[in-house]
Chains A and B, each alone.
Chain A
């Protein structure tokens, strides 16, 4: 098997240069994902109402659902999604499965924060990046033939980031309730395992050639379906409806948080596609750093706290940045990428998918047999419907009475927007969003 694959998978100088470009694109996507996933916390901080965290999660997921259909329709059109599904229909199951994993993990974080507080819970579930490295190695040939330096860079970087995340979480948390510490620790670890495992479907889809924009449209059915089922089973239908009614004034802010989260998640998907899950997950886990920037600079969360807290924040941030740098400088070598291609070849053989399609998509382009994506009236209808729903809830939203540092908010928004534009343009030029 090895000998027959080697000639087809051998790399020419042009292929090596293209692969390097895609690696850089993946790293940039990981950074952009961190910024937008962190920014998604900002609208939720505007909400201080007495509704269940499960309801808050559910409303955010509704915003996520709207974004997951309208954004892909706007960028490539649903015809491209249909074409992807025709080529690899089996991946719908993995997309829905990943969405279910996400929803259960997200619910567990609510229990974890309640029982042990953010300072203990966050570093525990952030360990998902270590599990991602394990799954990437075991199932998708990631870090195979990568050499000791890259192993140290990725694994060491992820561990340093976990320590940095722990410091940041301790600094940003208030006095944590510890009444049910075992329960909270189990919940946080459970969330980490579920999120770490969720990246198996991600990587499988992208090795098989599916476009991230297609994958997320089915992912969201699992996400919304499981989240609704959990909310109904925990709260009951009538109390859930009552709480949704009482949260009417703030629905917009929560849905907006969901929308921003989708932008970040889309870049996370491209990071998983082009640098693999072992590197993509830790890079996008920088969202904690961005969340902290929003919390401290815009919402004044650490205002008046002691010097030791600021030392923890600065130390934690520096550690996270060092970890990110270690991972970013450990991009996959040609031999490791050849192993990725072998994993992709295995998938195409198993599910009878055209090898030229898988190879082209791994290379960030369309195969010769594919039609150019185009938008139809249905796509514009989807975009218009999602926009109208957001405008409706925006018009009925209550302006929160909360003190904000507007210059800091504008600066962080501008930085996130700049990353979005740079990464969006690079993705378009290099891969046409494939």
Chain B
């Protein structure tokens, strides 16, 4: 069952504070910049 005892963050807040989100986002931005510099 979902944990209902602890106060819950919104889904958006959970995503924005998740390192699993920011690592791929950072790599994607770096990739786009690299692609721009290569072309």
A100→B28 contact, CB < 8 A: yes
**CB-based nearest A residue for B27:** A197
- CA gap between A272 and B31 in the complex, in Å: 23
Contact residue among B18, B21, B27, B34 (Cβ-Cβ distance under 8 Å from A101): B27
Interface residues of A in 329-376 (CB under 8 A from B): 348-356
A194 within 8 A of B: yes
Give the chain B neighbours of A108 by CB distance below 8 A. Answer: 31, 34-35, 38
Q: Least Cβ distance of A67 to chain B in Å?
A: 24
Q: Least Cβ distance of B10 to chain A in Å?
A: 10
Q: Least Cβ distance of A360 to chain B in Å?
A: 13
Number of interface residues of A (CB under 8 A): 37
B14→A350 contact, CB < 8 A: yes
A-B contact pairs, 27 of them (CB 8 A): A89-B11, A94-B24, A97-B21, A97-B24, A97-B25, A97-B28, A98-B24, A100-B28, A101-B31, A104-B31, A107-B35, A111-B39, A186-B34, A187-B34, A193-B30, A193-B31, A197-B23, A197-B27, A200-B20, A201-B24, A234-B39, A348-B2, A349-B3, A350-B14, A351-B11, A352-B3, A354-B2
Contact residue among A139, A349, A352 (Cβ-Cβ distance under 8 Å from B20): A139
A190→B34 contact, CB < 8 A: yes
Q: Least Cβ distance of A216 to chain B in Å?
A: 17
- Of B14, B19, B20, the most chain A CB neighbours within 10 A belong to B20
- CA gap between A201 and B27 in the complex, in Å: 13
Interface residues of A in 162-207 (CB under 8 A from B): 183, 186-187, 190, 193-194, 197-198, 200-201, 204
B-to-A contact residues, CB < 8 Å: 1-3, 8, 11, 14-15, 18-21, 23-25, 27-28, 30-32, 34-35, 38-39
Instruction: Knowing that A90-B11, A101-B28 touch, tell me 18 more A-B residue pairs with CB under 8 angstroms.
Output: A94-B21, A98-B24, A100-B28, A101-B24, A101-B31, A105-B31, A108-B35, A108-B38, A111-B35, A111-B39, A190-B35, A194-B27, A200-B23, A200-B24, A348-B2, A349-B3, A350-B14, A354-B2
The 10 closest A-B pairs by CB, nearest first: A197-B27, A352-B2, A104-B31, A190-B34, A194-B31, A97-B24, A90-B11, A111-B38, A197-B24, A204-B20
Main secondary structure of the interface of B (DSSP, over half): helix
**CB-based nearest A residue for B2:** A352
- CA gap between A267 and B35 in the complex, in Å: 29
A93 within 8 A of B: yes
- CA gap between A350 and B13 in the complex, in Å: 10
- CA gap between A313 and B14 in the complex, in Å: 49
- CA gap between A97 and B1 in the complex, in Å: 28
Give the chain A neighbours of B39 by CB distance below 8 A. Answer: 111, 234
- Of B18, B23, B35, the most chain A CB neighbours within 10 A belong to B35
B18→A350 contact, CB < 8 A: yes
Q: Least Cβ distance of B8 to chain A in Å?
A: 6
Give the chain A neighbours of B18 by CB distance below 8 A. Answer: 350
- CA gap between A349 and B20 in the complex, in Å: 15
Interface residues of A in 69-98 (CB under 8 A from B): 89-90, 93-94, 97-98
